[in-house]
Structure 1
Amino acid sequence: MDPAAPPLTLAELDEAVTHCRACPRLVSWREEAARVKRRAYQDWDYWARPIPGFGPEDAALVLVGLAPAAHGANRTGRIFTGDPSGDLLYATLHSLGLANRPTSVRAGDGLALHGVRITDPVRCAPPDNKPSTSERDTCRPWLVRELEFMRPTVRSVVALGGFAWQALLPVLAAAGYEIPRPRPAFGHAAHVELPATDGGPPLHLYGCYHVSPRNTFTGRLTPEMLSDLLATAARTAGLPVG
């Protein structure tokens, strides 16, 4: 399905994205990772397809990452699942009362998010975790449509990392929000309120260092920093935080 063609529901969009083969380099890489596998995952049947967003369609808070990990979400079929980044993210959401459990193993394992949806600007695992700008732009319509579906309820968006922040600005413009000039710069705890072009509720955009091992192992992003930022974004979105 063409992401520019309007599916009837967000669930249909999620299903459609899993069949995308628009970027040959990413298709080749995600499928090669599934064939070769890591030694620890030899018994796994890798997902090896694009990863849809995860969370309720009426979410008030949306978290946007970078792209699936080759042996993380590309293996498990769920965004931010199966790697250290996801371990920290889901544990933090659970501690704030925004998830029903602190861990995620694979799609369908019983994890549920409360008022939160998680998605990526690039839906396939890229080599070296570095999608190209053309791959990012090819994938953009999926995220635009996703956010258009959630416009009635979404009030806060958190960009996990500079890549997500830069990818989000044109997406949010296309989804109906005003982006200031000059464009706001990314930083941890950066915050900008974006008016809706149709006069509806504004959207609050927050920046957060990515939950990558590079950031968390070096202390650039601590669990406390992540928790504080997500709690702020959730409260701004009107969600109760435990």
Structure 2
Amino acid sequence: MDARVAGCRVCPRLVEWREEVARVKRAAFAGWEYWGRPVPGFGAGDAPLVIVGLAPAAHGGNRTGRMFTGDRSGDVLYQALYDVGLASQAEAVSADDGLELYGVRITAPVHCAPPDNKPTPAERDACRHWLVEELTLLRPGLRAMVVLGAYGWQAVWPALAAAGWEIPRPRPAFGHGVRVELDGVQVFGCFHVSQRNTFTGKLTPEMLREVLETAARAAGLK
């Protein structure tokens, strides 16, 4: 599935943008050969805990080819995963840096870097089948999910429904620390690890670690 994700060219605007970014590059990464393709999920296919973000960053995952790697949001996320014992190291700089996740898979509802970090509803919907397939594959062992941000929260419920879960009506509202119990899976809301949230203190390292710790226990990893 990851190989098929990496070859997707369904959304013309996203294809054009991700490839243009990979050609032009940022000055700080002029020596890099950018990935410039859709970014698959990262982590084992039988992980009991999945983390769902928004989309790869133009000079982060779109450069490295690995979710949340090579940007400041990823710095915060991987440090927290390391702190709570879910990652082998605190830094994520490239796809071959030796980082391992313990019982965790990281994915997103949109696999291409979008302009201004804002995929359109049509692009989100076109990408949904990948998340549905991923959740279907994970389902036998999946016990917990952490959803980062309101965008991911809105996107994940239709995917969960399509993957066979019965979804509460009305759909649960997003909030940091919200916890929803589905059939065999507990879903946790968490503010996104964006620079806006972490720089302003809306999301602190302590808040992030608390959600990850609670989710890890729900997943049987603690």
Superposition TM-score tier, normalisation by shorter sequence: over 0.9
Match of 1:215 in 2: 197
* TM-score with structure 2 setting the length: 0.99
Letter in 2 for 1:128: D
Query: In the alignment, which of 17, 32, 56 is matched to residue 44 of structure 1?
Result: 32
Query: In the alignment, which of 58, 64, 87 is matched to residue 52 of structure 2?
Result: 64
> Do structure 1's residue 73 and structure 2's residue 61 form an aligned pair?
yes
Question: 1:27 and 1:68 mapped to 2: Cα distance?
Answer: 13
Secondary structure at 2:51's aligned position in 1? strand
Please give the per-residue CA displacement for 1:150-174, whole angstroms capped at 9, x wherever unaligned: 1111111111000000000000011
> Do structure 1's residue 161 and structure 2's residue 143 form an aligned pair?
no
Match of 1:21 in 2: 9
Match of 2:213 in 1: 231
User: What's the offset of the Cα at 1:109?
Assistant: 1.5
Match of 1:204 in 2: 186
- Structure 1 regions of 5+ residues with no counterpart? 1-12, 196-201
Question: 2:49 and 2:175 mapped to 1: Cα distance?
Answer: 19
User: What's the offset of the Cα at 1:118?
Assistant: 0.1
Query: In the alignment, which of 165, 171, 180 is matched to residue 192 of structure 1?
Result: 180
Secondary structure at 1:118's aligned position in 2? strand
* TM-score with structure 1 setting the length: 0.91
Question: 1:67, 1:126 within 8 Å by CA — same for their partners in 2?
Answer: yes
Question: 2:194 and 2:44 mapped to 1: Cα distance?
Answer: 24
Match of 2:98 in 1: 110
Letter in 2 for 1:239: L
Letter in 1 for 2:107: T
Letter in 2 for 1:231: E
Match of 1:170 in 2: 158
User: What's the offset of the Cα at 1:127?
Assistant: 0.2
Over the matched positions of the two proteins, sequence identity in percent amounts to: 65
Query: In the alignment, which of 98, 105, 114 is matched to residue 86 of structure 2?
Result: 98
- Structure 2 regions of 5+ residues with no counterpart? none
Question: 1:104 and 1:169 mapped to 2: Cα distance?
Answer: 29
- The number of residues matched between the two structures is 222
User: What's the offset of the Cα at 1:26?
Assistant: 0.2
Question: 2:152 and 2:216 mapped to 1: Cα distance?
Answer: 18
Question: 2:200 and 2:178 mapped to 1: Cα distance?
Answer: 21
Question: 1:191, 1:207 within 8 Å by CA — same for their partners in 2?
Answer: yes
> Which runs of at least 4 in structure 1 moved beyond 4 Å after TM superposition?
none
Letter in 1 for 2:196: R
Question: 1:177, 1:203 within 8 Å by CA — same for their partners in 2?
Answer: no
Query: In the alignment, which of 59, 63, 83 is matched to residue 71 of structure 2?
Result: 83
Secondary structure at 1:159's aligned position in 2? strand
Query: In the alignment, which of 19, 41, 45 is matched to residue 53 of structure 1?
Result: 41
Match of 2:124 in 1: 136
Question: 2:207 and 2:104 mapped to 1: Cα distance?
Answer: 19
Please give the per-residue CA displacement for 1:105-146, whole angstroms capped at 9, x wherever unaligned: 111221100000000100000000000010000000001001
User: What's the offset of the Cα at 1:57?
Assistant: 1.1
Please give the per-residue CA displacement for 1:169-217, whole angstroms capped at 9, x wherever unaligned: 000011111111111000000111012xxxxxx2111100000000000
Question: 1:180 and 1:237 mapped to 2: Cα distance?
Answer: 21
Question: 1:192 and 1:64 mapped to 2: Cα distance?
Answer: 15
